[in-house]
Chain A
Amino acid sequence: MAVRLTVASSRDVMRQRFSDGWVRGVDRKDKERVQIEVVQRVLDAVGAEPHRVEQAIFDTLYEERRRLETEPEGPVRSEQAAFYDRVHSATLHADARTQRELLREIIRRFTEEVTGHFDPRVYALATRVAPTGLNLLLNAMSPIKLLEAIQGGSSDLEEQFEVTGHVQEVTKLAKIGTLVVVPTHSSNLDSILMGYAIWRLGLPPHLYGAGLNLFSNKTIGFFMHNLGAYKVDRRKKAEVYKNVLKTYAGCSMELGYHNLFFPGGTRSRSGGVEQRLKMGLLGMGLDAYVHNLMARKARPDIFVVPCTINYELVLEAETLIDDYLKEAGKARYIIEDDEFSKPKIILDFVKKLFSLNSKIHVVVGHPLDVFGNRVDADGTSRDHRGRPVDRTRYVVKNGAPAFDEQRDEEFTRELAQVIVQSYRRYTMAKTTNVLCRVVFQWLREKSQGQDLYRMLRTGGPEESIPVPEAYERVDRMLRALRGLATRDRILLDQPLREYDVPALVNYALAHLSSYHRRPAVQRRGDRLFHIDRNLIFYYQNRLECHATDLAAESS
């Protein structure tokens, strides 16, 4: 099925917002209701047995004290350390009932931290006065402001940033159910761009958990909080904390707040499209759906919307691939000193992208129900043959909707598989991906017998590829990609669809040699030199999930 390339323009969106007047009001009591519910559910999940309660307290104390050891000295650290000291000594002498109350106190503290700055009134105001409220946010976020400043107005920005795919279905579904938007993740810019994309689609802001670094700017932080972002401190490893985050997402979905999260968990280090997803947060959609069915809610439905975010260049490519290639990188889940933390680099990046006429594409995949079935614009789930599916039946047990932990884990695994397939199908290949893949494969052929790391370090026996040979290889790959695209296996960016090979290679080279500290590939005379092979590896990895398809298509 061909993707409907519907581009949502901000002017259309504004018109629609005001003419429909459909922006939903926010219950002032929601915040308190969510907090109470989250605390109770997390406490219930621990269970009533005294040894489990005690274990949960001590696990949390252990993890939190370890974290505090790495925190800088200051009042925040002192206050937290004092709190955990008090809990520790109280737990040692407490009976089971008191221990449960101490655990409740810990959970409440985490819950307030996560939800604390969310003010429904600001949220409601921001959504009602859109786009003004959003503009405030966008202006506070330097990259977007810069984009507009550089291009001299939002109309140009619209040309540089496209939201395509199943846009119309999603905007309709947002009116009859709750959306869970799950994009691919390659850059910290993703959060900001998705916020912008959601606004462009005419949707209310989505709740999403954002890493601490996104809150480092106080102005940005204020608006991010009040437009749905909640603070996720990835340094907090306690199980109870993770459960608070998950449960908060689930409870907010039950109340009808659209959610956004990156199911890959973190930015793709390799540059590849996510093939494995984190099940915990993803499973909260099903959790909320079953809760809604059990509560016989009028609008119980949760719709999952996979999206791909496609860049010709990635802001943090150098840091990410470096991290991927370092064995120790596996432990380095949180990167705080990357390109995103340096405003000037963001400015350079955005300037370069725009001066090269480069587009960023968000492709909205086919919306799904929480079991992975495709959903029509009217909310009907369909099986692979297009027959309607009564999705409520999946969770029926003894005649009524009910939870089943093992079953529900498997349902979520099925959903994850469908999301991964959607990512593959709605990935938009860019010229940098193609040229880097061609150069990388050539490098592999020339350095047979060498392991990957050695090849990346040394570059193998030949330092350059003749341009005619590169053209021929690009041509072959392009034909394979176009073959896959006609069969709806991948999307191709405009240059890949329309340019001839020399123009396409020039376009890719212009990008690859403009922003990064060292060019990935550079043309000198009639040869292409591989300069930064880590970057070549990074950009080619984007097509790795299509490797089998490409090989079959080529043969």
Chain B
Amino acid sequence: MSAASVDLCIVGGGSFGSALALVVAGRGRRVRMWVRRQEQADEINREHTNKPYLEQRRLPDEVSATCDMQEAVAGTPVVLMAVPSKSFREVARSVGEHIRGDQVLVHATKGIEVPTFSRMTQILREETCALKIGVLSGPNLAAELVQGHPSGAVIASRYDEVVRSVQALFAGAHLRVYGGRDVVGVEFAGAFKNIIAIAAGVADGFGFGDNARSLVITRGLSEMALMGSSLGGDVFTFGGLAGVGDLVATCNSKLSRNHQVGERLAQGQDLDTILRGLRFVAEGVPTTDAVHRRAASIGLRLPICEAVHSVLFQGCSATSAMQMLMTLPVGDELSALRYR
């Protein structure tokens, strides 16, 4: 399959990248994946499987894989990056060696670069020459996408062409992709919900039930909207798929890695042990650190984020963090947003 005949290049062979490849190729579109390891590429090309992430699920014949970034990226109309935020810049720089100005470059990474507090699209601008950039986000648990269950996402970009191109790739699929312009809001919501998912996991780990989880979700949403809008996001974005949509899915799902981190924290495990035991990256952990620092620097009070940070990085127990949250003075529910 030559690059010119490929409809979509997915950079990253993890669970979400593989799930997206499955969805797009399932509609007859040709997908080329860039993966780090040659064995993984060989497995995808020969066996049409990606067992570490998709178990026995077979990938369509339209999916191919390569470890050669040039082969993956050059000439492909749309390039979609799905790699963890920690390695995002390094991989983006490599993409930047081969991408050209007419190509569309989007990502589906829900995180923040900790040292710089950069969003992923900002990294794409710094590391590539691409201008037609966007972000794909929403309640899209990889395992459910793979099973073919109905799902929704949003593609946000300042460029109509980016929105149209990505929507066209998913046209007719069980993943309905809506368009949007608010790149900042969508990216921030995608990153921030992972912090709240950890808190929801803690509540579930304590066995508090649906009321408590709902409390965490709605107060978490309020914190997301407060900080997201102060960074330039549109407050309505947080009521959409990338905001409350993703938040509800992640906080209610046992499949969410960040939720799992929270549950184990409630069980008294320490962070190092939890992270060693996880097969995949939990983006919520570094994001909590990045968001906590930025919120402090701009003078925003985000109680749930602070509580999660105290448990993850300050040696506070989940029990005392929960107590601290429950003893905070209560005020008007929407005052932080309404009277900004």
Contact = CB atoms under 8 A, between A and B. Distances in A.
Contact of B129 (A373, A395, A396, A407): A373
B317 to A, nearest CB: 33
- Which of A371, A394, A414 has its CB near the most chain B CB atoms (within 10 A)? A394
Question: Interface residues of A: mostly helix, strand, loop or mixed?
Answer: mixed
B131 A371 contact: yes
Interface stretch (A67-75, A99-107, A380-388, A474-482): A380-388
Contacts of A397: 102
Contacts of B97: 387
B127 interface: yes
A400 to B, nearest CB: 11
Interface in B104-142: 125-129, 131-132
Contact of B161 (A383, A404, A414): A404
B51 interface: no
Contact of A396 (B102, B131, B158): B102
A387 B125 CA distance: 13
A407 B101 contact: no
Interface in A365-398: 371, 373, 381, 383-385, 387, 389-391, 393-397
Contact of A385 (B93, B101, B158): B93
B159 interface: yes
Contacts of B126: 384
B102 A385 contact: no
B159 A385 contact: no
B210 interface: no
A410 B159 contact: yes
A64 B108 CA distance: 52
B100 interface: yes
A385 B96 CA distance: 9
B128 A383 contact: yes
B160 interface: yes
Contact of A393 (B93, B100, B159, B160): B100
Contacts of B96: 383, 385, 387
Contact of A406 (B102, B129, B160): B160
A346 B131 CA distance: 45
Contact of B158 (A383, A393, A395, A410): A410
Contacts of B131: 371, 394, 410-411, 414
Nearest to B125: A384
A267 interface: no
Contacts of A414: 131
Contacts of B158: 410, 413
Contacts of A395: 102
A392 to B, nearest CB: 8
B101 A384 contact: no
A384 B127 contact: yes
Nearest to B160: A406
Contact of A391 (B93, B101, B128): B101
B100 A390 contact: yes
Contacts of A406: 159-161
A397 B160 CA distance: 14
Contacts of B161: 404, 406-407
A394 B127 contact: no
Interface string A400-419: 00001011001101100000
A215 B101 CA distance: 43
- Which of B96, B131, B160 has its CB near the most chain A CB atoms (within 10 A)? B131
Contacts of A371: 101, 131
A381 B100 CA distance: 12
A391 B159 CA distance: 18
Interface string B143-170: 0000000000000001111000000000
Given A407-B132, A410-B158, A413-B158, A393 B101 contact: yes
A513 to B, nearest CB: 38
Contacts of B101: 371, 389-391, 393-394, 396
Contacts of B125: 384
A26 to B, nearest CB: 33
Contacts of A394: 101-102, 131
Contacts of B129: 373, 381, 383, 387, 389
Contacts of A411: 131
Interface string A459-475: 00000000000000000
A407 B127 contact: no
- Which of B93, B100, B101, B161 has its CB near the most chain A CB atoms (within 10 A)? B101
A409 to B, nearest CB: 9
B159 A407 contact: yes
B290 to A, nearest CB: 17
Contacts of B160: 406-407
A412 to B, nearest CB: 11
A551 to B, nearest CB: 10
A282 to B, nearest CB: 16
A344 to B, nearest CB: 48
Contacts of A384: 125-127
A98 B125 CA distance: 50
B242 to A, nearest CB: 20
B102 A393 contact: yes
Given A393-B102, A407-B159, A385 B132 contact: no
A391 B129 CA distance: 9
Contacts of A381: 129
A383 B123 CA distance: 13
A390 to B, nearest CB: 6
Contacts of A410: 131, 158-159
A251 to B, nearest CB: 25
A368 to B, nearest CB: 13
A555 to B, nearest CB: 10
A413 B158 CA distance: 10
A249 to B, nearest CB: 23
Contacts of B128: 383
Contacts of A387: 96-97, 129
B100 A385 contact: no
Given A373-B129, A404-B161, A413-B158, 13 more contacts: A381-B129, A383-B129, A384-B125, A384-B127, A385-B93, A385-B127, A393-B102, A394-B101, A394-B131, A397-B102, A406-B161, A407-B132, A407-B159
25 contacts: A371-B131, A373-B129, A381-B129, A384-B126, A384-B127, A385-B93, A385-B96, A385-B127, A387-B97, A389-B101, A389-B129, A390-B100, A390-B101, A391-B101, A393-B102, A394-B101, A395-B102, A404-B161, A406-B160, A407-B132, A407-B161, A410-B158, A410-B159, A411-B131, A413-B158
Sorted from nearest, which 6 A-B pairs have the closest CB atoms? Answer: A394-B101, A393-B101, A383-B129, A389-B129, A396-B102, A393-B100
